[in-house]
A and B are shown apart, each in its own frame.
Chain A
Amino acid sequence: MAIKKISGCIGCGECVLSCPTDVLRIGDNGKAEICWPEECQLCHLCRMYCPVDAITIDPEKSIPVIISWG
């Protein structure tokens, strides 16, 4: 599980849309929740697309973000 915690979520759903493996879903409380943690591929897209930086990726389990240059 790479997502350490979600705090300060405003429930915009950007992380849900950006996650390629459906790890995150909007819960009953209107905020993002981790549904399938084992599916996380450490792509960091949820963190990068969160407008309020609510998602914290565990630095111990994280790997550098791979960015293509062309």
Chain B
Amino acid sequence: MPQTPPELTTRDFFLRAAAVFAGFPVLFMLIKGVFSGRNAYLEIFSLITITAWCLVPGQFYWFPGNRFLPLHLRSWTLARYHMVIGTLLVLLLCSHPFLLLLPKLFEYGISPQEAFFTMISTPHAGVISGIISWLLLATLGGTAWFRKLLPLRYHVWRQLHGILAFLVLICGLHHVLFLGRHITPLITVIFILFALAAAGMMVRRWFDIIPHAKPGRLPPSEGNTDRLKKQGHQPEKKEAENEF
């Protein structure tokens, strides 16, 4: 009797992925205390930035090259999910140094321009890794959005995209661990585990270190035939039995 993988709809997948990758930091921030004295804008901004950072390792999981997820989701759904989340992450993480300075417009003291210059000109390891990861992230987003304009074959671009993502992960992790405001030993461990898992998935995909189970078609169970029924197609029982 062949064992069928659990069925997963797009909504289930989205909820589980959000719970695993974004739920943890929110949980630990709530345990630690989200509003710790700074104004509400900065705290909400921190929460969004941390959530965005936690979704970065997830991007290594829900990408079209994953051989497990296409068993449950259509490849195009997965690719679209990767693109939408990736675009949001690039926009949020690339804009966070500027959003941090927004309150300076309405306060006395240092001006936003001066604050920005001071910020990027400070020779601190966390700042330098932040600048490098910002540049890498912008390149990652730019090369992904304008992929068809680049004189690269798809496979070369995919390698480049993977290498850039890997570098963003390493530099970003360094930046987060050195300059993160809500970093506690527990969150440090979680972030490192997330990054190691992401790196592991990428290395596994690149070098095929651990053999993958080859994907096959699922038997036409109720959950998987939903979309076929919508398209007016009824799979035949005999075909499914022959496959397994």
Chain A residues with CB under 8 Å of chain B are 4-5, 7-8, 10-12, 14, 30, 45, 47-54, 56-59, 65, 67
Contact = CB atoms under 8 A, between A and B. Distances in A.
B37 A7 contact: no
A57 B119 contact: no
Interface of B: 36-38, 42, 100-101, 103, 107-110, 114-116, 118-119, 122, 124, 126-127, 179-182
Contact of B37 (A5, A30, A50, A51): A5
A14 B116 CA distance: 13
B37 A53 contact: no
B110 A8 contact: no
A53 B118 CA distance: 12
B176 to A, nearest CB: 11
A48 B122 contact: no
Contacts of B180: 8
A7 B100 CA distance: 14
A8 B37 contact: no
Contacts, number: 56
Q: Nearest 8 pairs between A and B by C-beta? A: A48-B109, A51-B115, A8-B181, A56-B37, A7-B181, A12-B122, A51-B118, A51-B119
Contacts of B109: 45, 47-49
Given A8-B180, A54-B181, A56-B37, 12 more contacts: A10-B179, A11-B122, A12-B118, A30-B124, A48-B108, A49-B109, A51-B114, A51-B118, A51-B119, A52-B119, A56-B36, A58-B37
Contacts of A59: 37
A59 B119 CA distance: 26
A48 B37 contact: no
A61 to B, nearest CB: 11
Contacts of B181: 7-8, 54
A47 B107 CA distance: 10
Contacts of B182: 7
Nearest to A30: B124
B63 to A, nearest CB: 31
A53 to B, nearest CB: 6
B122 A49 contact: no
17 contacts: A4-B37, A5-B36, A8-B181, A10-B122, A10-B124, A11-B122, A12-B119, A12-B122, A30-B124, A52-B115, A53-B100, A53-B103, A54-B181, A56-B36, A56-B38, A57-B37, A67-B108
Nearest to B114: A51
